[in-house]
Amino acid sequence: MKERVLPADHPPVRSGRIGVLLINLGTPDGTDYWPMRRYLKEFLSDRRVIETPRLLWWPILNGVVLSKRPQKSGEAYATIWNKELNESPLRTFTRSQSDKLAADFAAEERLQVDWAMRYGNPTIAEKLTALQEKGCEKVLIVPLYPQYSATTTATVNDKAFDALKLMRWQPAIRTAPPWHDEPAYIDALAQSVEEHYQTLDFTPDVLVASYHGLPRSYFEKGDPYHCHCQKTSRLLAERLGMPQEKLITTFQSRFGPEEWLQPYTDETVARLAEEGVKSVAVMNPGFVSDCLETLEEIAIGVGEIFEEHGGENFTHIPCLNDSAAGMHVLKTVVMRELQGWL
């Protein structure tokens, strides 16, 4: 790192470093009513997430939703909560991803790696400030979403630039694009499937790739998320040598009365069981870390739906998380985007 020659009376200034900020969706600080309410209010107040006009949405959000949903969501979080660290698995994995990536780059003294959450803590603003205080004059923002959506990637970038608006001395910023078709990512997904299958005493008849849902109207307005998900699934099926009909793309976690991207995961799994499919595996390629939507909604909830409709063998394939393969993907993306800086 280069040293600057400053006047004798100049206050100390750290400079010449490069920051990498991994940013995931977010997590409540606890499973009780008030932590859940704060988290849900911030999340569901985001205009990127809920595009319903405020005049219509605010009474619904501050009335029915925030009076009932915190308890229900808190109970769901409690089933997967990391009790040892008193935090959600998403926070545990995101911190570990940051720590492992920092260790991978330990030889490069200029590089500083940190992590933040779009909703909840730690905030993007505080981590950008911390990186700047460490001397980072350039920062790479990495939204932890393989497939781009305005509801995820864009809102992370929005929040980062909101923080930059308040900085008198802004670092130079890059934002990482999605990596839905990155070969290292496809290989890592395929490896996770192959390794998981080796642990089973049955062979799944169908592999379901379940992605987080999106209102259909957002897709019709031009959001590329659906196309990115379909491409990931197609490349994964090709990499596994699996017929397309054996790898089904579905969408989960719909909210409200509006039509969302289809087919829906829960309905698809129920239909497969009713049609006589006895063994199903479900994975979540759109999530870099296991969280409420994968561990509670899919591994528990969808597994129960499959069995209730006549299915016999259900398995959930964990996300890449902080595995060696998962970390290789993140390092590949970061190294690609740091070209010219590092």
The domain ranges of the chain are 17-178+325-337, 183-316
Cα 210–284–150 angle (5° rounding)?
Answer: 80
Q: pLDDT per residue over 249-292, tens digit each? A: 999 999 888 999 999 999 999 999 999 999 999 999 999 999 99
Note the pLDDT of residue 100. 98
Q: How confident is the model at residue 14 (pLDDT cuts 50, 70, 90)?
A: low
Note the pLDDT of residue 244. 86
Q: How many residues would you count in the chain?
A: 342
Note the pLDDT of residue 114. 98
Question: What contacts 340, CB < 8 A, 6 or more positions away?
Answer: none
Q: How confident is the model at residue 332 (pLDDT cuts 50, 70, 90)?
A: very high
d(CA 340, CA 245): 43
d(CA 24, CA 153): 9
pLDDT at 15 over 90: no
Note the pLDDT of residue 1. 47
> Pick from 190, 288, 196, 170: which is nearest to 233 by CA?
190
Alpha helices in 155-203 (DSSP H): 155-165, 183-197
Percent of the chain, pLDDT > 70? 96
27 DSSP β-pair partners: 120
Q: Do 17-178+325-337 and 183-316 show the same overall fold?
A: yes
CATH number of 17-178+325-337: 3.40.50.1400
Q: Are 78 and 31 in contact (CB under 8 A)?
A: yes
> Pick from 21, 79, 99, 30: which is nearest to 293 by CA?
79
**Span 286-305, average pLDDT:** 98
Q: Per the confidence metrics, is the pTM higher than 0.85?
A: yes
Any idea which fold 183-316 has?
A: Rossmann fold (3.40.50)
Phi–psi pair at 119, nearest 5 degrees: -120, 135
Q: pLDDT per residue over 174-197, tens digit each? A: 999 999 999 999 999 999 999 999
Q: Are 206 and 265 in contact (CB under 8 A)?
A: no
Neighbours of 98 (CB within 10 A): 21
Helix or strand or coil: residue 25? strand
